[in-house]
């Protein structure tokens, strides 16, 4: 079962699981858009779609019937705006997840795979690249909630034996990511270049992030179903850092277009550099990202030009 399976990451994960012959269920909000999954919805596909409210205990309990493995990708907030209403973040993400975990225990779920945030749970890093053992001092509510859920998963395993993995994802990008959303600098920039619109950057453009192609990330998530490890928390990224200015240079190269950039005053919650150490995931799962940034950007730009 993929909670949030109709979204950007969830739809890629669903396709990956189906390709590997898993029976897949998707849980999404009522009347959600089928756009991201329409390319693999057909009568012969072992895919079940369940619509409901993640905050509704009855909906969740019904959805967990005959489910062995669960991917929790649901979030109602974004890092950039979560501090505006931390109480809402707690109510819709933390409390709803605690009720969800209880339902998983009652339904005898074998394993939960939780999507955490490698970009926010560590806060301002003291060393680069960032290992999973790095101190956690998030400076946004989004990261605090993600880390708190991680801690509850640890507790529920100790008390109830509920198995889990936490994957701290860096900055995913690729096809099906909404270029009009508030999250995801790569599709936003590529879409503005495609439309000939100016790009606004908070700060001087030297903020460094770790970008990973979405299909590389879902390969790891799928492989985790069949593997058991003593470690439960893993970074997921490319292991490489790229500044926004360098990112724009690559975009100029692949699009063949000039870019009008407007630099704005920096924001207090923007972490200067975030590069994840992915060696633990590589060693435990035999996984490594196979798509370099330029190739991934070309694929993403082609998708945007064909769909927007």
Strands 163-169, 208-209: pairing kind: unpaired
Within 10 angstroms of residue 138's Cβ, the number of other Cβ atoms is 23
DSSP 8-state class, residue 139: S
Report yes or no: 29 and 4 within 8 Å, Cβ to Cβ: no
Out of 142, 156, 211, 301, pick the active-site residue. Answer: 142
Which two three-digit tokens encode residue 148?
């708190």
Give the C-alpha separation, 10 to 26, whole Å.
Answer: 8
Within 10 angstroms of residue 43's Cβ, the number of other Cβ atoms is 4
Q: Is 266 left (phi over 0), alpha (psi -120 to 50) or beta?
A: beta
Give the C-alpha separation, 231 to 218, whole Å.
Answer: 19
**Residues constituting the chain:** 308
142 included as an active-site residue: yes
Element (H, E) at 21: none
Which two three-digit tokens encode residue 290?
């196979």
Active-site residue set: 142
């Amino acid at each position: 079962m993929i909670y949030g399976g109709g979204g950007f990451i969830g739809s890629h994960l669903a396709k990956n699981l189906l390709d590997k012959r898993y029976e897949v269920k998707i849980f999404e909000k009522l009347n959600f858009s089928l756009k991201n999954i329409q390319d693999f919805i057909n009568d012969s596909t072992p895919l079940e779609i369940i619509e409901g409210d993640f905050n509704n205990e009855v909906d969740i309990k019904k959805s967990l019937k005959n489910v062995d493995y669960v991917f929790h990708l649901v979030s109602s907030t974004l890092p950039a705006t979560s501090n505006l209403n931390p109480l809402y973040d707690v109510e819709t993400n933390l409390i709803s997840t605690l009720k969800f975990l209880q339902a998983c225990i009652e339904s005898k779920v074998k394993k939960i795979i939780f999507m955490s945030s490698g970009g926010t749970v560590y806060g301002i890093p003291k060393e680069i690249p960032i290992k999973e053992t790095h101190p956690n001092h998030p400076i946004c509510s989004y990261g605090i909630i993600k880390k708190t859920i991680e801690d509850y998963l640890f507790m529920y395993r100790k008390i109830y034996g509920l198995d889990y993995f936490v994957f701290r994802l860096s900055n995913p990008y690729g096809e099906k990511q909404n270029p009009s959303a508030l999250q995801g600098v790569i599709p936003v920039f590529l879409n503005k270049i495609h439309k000939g619109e100016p790009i606004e950057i908070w700060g001087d453009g030297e903020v460094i992030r770790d970008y990973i192609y979405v299909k590389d990330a879902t390969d790891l998530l799928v492989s985790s179903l069949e593997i058991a490890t003593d470690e439960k928390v893993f970074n997921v990224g490319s292991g490489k850092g790229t500044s926004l200015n360098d990112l724009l240079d690559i975009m100029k190269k692949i699009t063949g277009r000039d870019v009008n950039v407007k630099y704005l005053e920096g924001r207090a919650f923007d972490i200067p550099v975030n590069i994840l150490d992915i060696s633990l995931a590589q060693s435990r799962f035999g996984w490594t990202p196979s798509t370099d940034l330029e190739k991934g950007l070309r694929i993403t730009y082609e998708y945007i030009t064909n769909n927007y």
